[in-house]
Amino acid sequence: MHMPKPLQPFWKAWCSFSHVLGKVMSFIILSLFWLVCFSIYGLGLKIWNLKNLFKKPVSTYWIDPPKDAGMQYQF
């Protein structure tokens, strides 16, 4: 950009300031975005898994095989 000679130091200072401001603002905005998104995601998972808290615990998942399922001739 073409600037008059007396304004060039101000222009360079403004560009430096805006660069720093952009880094700070993007860090803040992206951090807030990350926290909000993962907080909502985590709460959703907790609510979705809430129904598992009220299930009656099963003593075992073992199922006895039928008596006629002979293991005599396996191969």
Render pLDDT for 10-34 as a digit per residue (tens, 0 to 9). Answer: 999 999 999 999 999 999 999 999 9
Alpha-carbon span 42 to 45, nearest angstrom = 5
Give the single-character DSSP code of 5.
Answer: G
Question: Cα dist. 59→54, 64, 65, 68 in Å?
Answer: 15, 14, 18, 26
So what's the pLDDT on residue 34? 95
So what's the pLDDT on residue 74? 66
So what's the pLDDT on residue 75? 64
So what's the pLDDT on residue 70? 67
Residue 50 has pLDDT above 80, yes or no: no
Tell me the one-letter amino acid at 4.
P
| DSSP-based helix, strand, coil % in the chain, nearest 5 | 65, 0, 35
Residue ranges covered by each domain of the chain: 24-48
Tell me the one-letter amino acid at 51.
K
